[in-house]
């Protein structure tokens, strides 16, 4: 049976649409004269934030603009400068993005009622998560464990944060764990850890819509957007894709049946 879940934070359990870091990425590149798109800023979402900036710097269009401005591609010193600008801007807004997404608190309560432990991983540092955790706890959500990228050998897509959570929770082997998240890097993390891996669409960074935008979107257009997100998450290895995080325990029931038949992720 499934004994633990590993839940992402922003875009999965809190911060509907994962908007906290988005505008900050756009802002810090803009300060260097590089106007990045929302799509470029979102693409590496879920990674440690310095790694996220490094990944953006390697994007062909961004690197070409940088060469035009500075005569070379971005280097490690440039990444450090961008991150030095990024961190204080993010810290100043994080407290406003700790609200649990609809259904998250209720899901956590149901999982605990089934004896399932709740671990968590993130692309934020521990200092960032201290702010998010405080706000989320005040609104009813608190996992049993949390591991941040700076507390492991590396962040996503590597599996180390999940392994550390599993160690703290005393859960093994890894097929007794479900990993759920909203980004490609979440899916890669779960697959690399050997967990059942579940992608979430509504509220995700991949969908990139506010609650109001989801509500106002036409049925056919929303269905097409959701289908595109599902395809990206499945291509990254998701065993299941669900519409909303509150449906995770339904998937766990299916996984338990598969485990009973001797199936493994």
Q: Annotated active-site positions, please?
A: 8, 49
* Residue among 231, 235, 257, 150 nearest 191 (CA): 235
Task: Give dist(CA 151, CA 126) in Å, integer.
Answer: 8
Task: Give dist(CA 99, CA 13) in Å, integer.
Answer: 8
CA 189 to centroid of chain Cα atoms: 10
Which pair of tokens denotes residue 181? 């998240």
Which pair of tokens denotes residue 108? 């956590």
Q: Are 42 and 229 in contact (CB under 8 A)?
A: no
């Amino acid at each position: 049976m499934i004994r633990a879940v590993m839940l992402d934070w922003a875009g999965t359990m809190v911060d509907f649409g994962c908007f906290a870091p988005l505008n900050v990425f756009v802002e810090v590149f803009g300060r260097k004269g590089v106007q990045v798109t929302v799509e470029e800023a979102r693409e590496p979402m879920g990674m440690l934030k310095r790694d996220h900036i490094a990944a953006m710097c390697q994007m062909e269009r961004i690197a070409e603009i940088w060469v035009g401005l500075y005569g070379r591609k971005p280097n490690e010193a440039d990444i450090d400068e961008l991150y030095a600008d990024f961190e204080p801007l993010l810290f100043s807004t994080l407290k406003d993005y700790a609200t649990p997404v609809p259904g998250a608190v209720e899901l956590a309560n149901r999982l605990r009622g089934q004896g399932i432990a709740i671990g968590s991983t993130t692309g934020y540092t521990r200092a960032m998560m201290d702010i998010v955790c405080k706000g989320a706890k005040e609104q009813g959500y608190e996992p049993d464990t949390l591991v941040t990228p700076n507390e492991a050998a590396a962040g996503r897509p590597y599996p180390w944060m999940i392994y550390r959570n599993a160690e703290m929770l005393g859960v093994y082997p890894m097929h007794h764990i479900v990993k759920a998240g909203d980004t490609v890097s979440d899916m890669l993390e779960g697959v690399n850890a050997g967990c059942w891996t579940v992608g979430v669409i509504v509220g995700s960074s991949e969908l990139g819509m506010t609650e109001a935008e989801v509500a106002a979107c036409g049925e056919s257009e929303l269905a097409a957007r959701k289908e595109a997100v599902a395809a990206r998450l499945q291509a990254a290895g998701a065993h299941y894709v669900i519409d909303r995080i509150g449906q995770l325990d339904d998937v766990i029931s299916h996984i338990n049946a598969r485990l009973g038949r001797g199936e493994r992720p």
